[in-house]
Amino acid sequence: MMRNVLLAAVASAAMMLPVVGQAAEKLVLYTSQPNQDAQTTVDAFKAAYPDVEVEWVRDGTTKLMAKLRAEIAAGDPRPDVLLIADTVTLEGMKGEGLLQAYKSPEASAYEAALYDADGYYYSTKLITTGIVYNTGVEKAPKSWKDLSDPAMKNQVVMPSPLYSGAALIHLSTLTENKELGWDYYQALAANEARAQGGNGGVFKAVASGEKPYGVVVDFLAIRGKAEGSPVDFVFPTEGVTYVTEPVAIMKDAKNVDAAHKFVDFVLSSKGQELVLDMGYVPARGDMALPDGFPARSDIKLMDFNPAVALEQAEANKKKFADIFGAE
């Protein structure tokens, strides 16, 4: 009898112990990072937290959000954490009550403009938009207003906010700026600036000499220059617009402790070193910048309000299409 009791006790205790080699925690991540970047991020996190098993899904933000919306509609949202392209998407999710707040201790190393004050999302990198120009031109631009100069008529190309999320944020930022506003976009249209497609097409048009000037995300131009393309990049005097690949925790996250660990990790110096190694500007204020970039103090971020951008997104796209056409 006593032997049976002891065996039962041992068996019960054994069931409570983790199996050797089996992760004690799990984390489900949905991300729009490029595949290699996502793999690097996950590998580094697992190295820091070997007891956390990570399951991750990678796709473009639009497709990823469509998948998540379908899961929410079915009553089974799977991710614990989102690491996606822009704050506007997460601002919308915050408004719908789909995120949970977390006050990360790492936030103190970040500018207040780069995270939600209530802790619903945090920026992890800065991808700024500025001006790229072909080095064959006689005059290098210095400001956004330079692109509306009649001397640059029919020589400017830019991504369309009907296609590019970064371009939509760029549009919202500039139209909310008192010195630029919609008058600036009217002036660009009058100057026959072409708005079409995404950032990749803009860079190719400028690098090939098809259009001497373009509006583009920083890393395309800076990397292109380093690889020998005849281009240079300008951080305009008025400042740059930016997207920040923020991280957020789902309200219905099943693995909250692991989610907290992931958020803290990507915001930590170690996590931000990964961003730097990938060739992007770390959002964390005490980090160096990649080769080819100016000092952090020389990069002026323009004022941007994700809530306003979200509220005005459809109206902004319609007005832009009325001015430039729906290419």
Q: What is the CATH number of domain 126-242+302-324?
A: 3.40.190.10
Q: Write down the pLDDT at residue 99.
A: 98
Q: Write down the pLDDT at residue 1.
A: 52
Q: Write down the pLDDT at residue 60.
A: 87
Instruction: Name the average pLDDT for the chain.
Output: 92
Flag whether pLDDT at 21 surpasses 90. Answer: no
CA dihedral 44, 48, 52, 54 (to 10 degrees): -10
Q: Write down the pLDDT at residue 201.
A: 95
Cα–Cα dist 66/83, whole Å: 15
8 A C-beta contact, residue 122 and residue 163: no
Cα–Cα dist 143/191, whole Å: 16
Calculate the CA 21 to chain-centre distance: 34
Q: Which residue has the higher pLDDT, 317 or 11?
A: 317
Tokens of 291: 């080769």
Measured from the Cβ of residue 189, the count of other Cβ atoms closer than 10 Å reads 17
Q: What phi and psi, each to the nearest 5 degrees, are found at residue 74?
A: -85, 0
Flag whether pLDDT at 5 surpasses 60. Answer: no
Tokens of 250: 């789902």
For CA atoms 63, 65, 68, 70, the dihedral sign is negative
Give me the CATH topology for the region 7-124+244-293: D-Maltodextrin-Binding Protein; domain 2 (3.40.190)
Between the CA of residue 221 and those of 122, 229, 245, what are the distances in Å? 26, 8, 19
List the alpha helices (DSSP H) in the chain.
Answer: 2-16, 35-48, 61-73, 87-95, 165-175, 181-190, 199-208, 218-226, 256-267, 269-277, 306-324
Model-level pTM greater than 0.85?
yes
pLDDT in tens, 167-218: 999 999 999 999 999 999 999 999 999 998 999 999 999 999 999 999 999 9
Flag whether pLDDT at 11 surpasses 90. Answer: no
Averaged pLDDT, 34-46? 96
Q: Write down the pLDDT at residue 210.
A: 97
Cα–Cα dist 315/239, whole Å: 24
Positions of CATH 3.40.190.10 in the chain? 7-124+244-293, 126-242+302-324
CA distance between the termini of the chain:
82
Averaged pLDDT, 240-248? 97
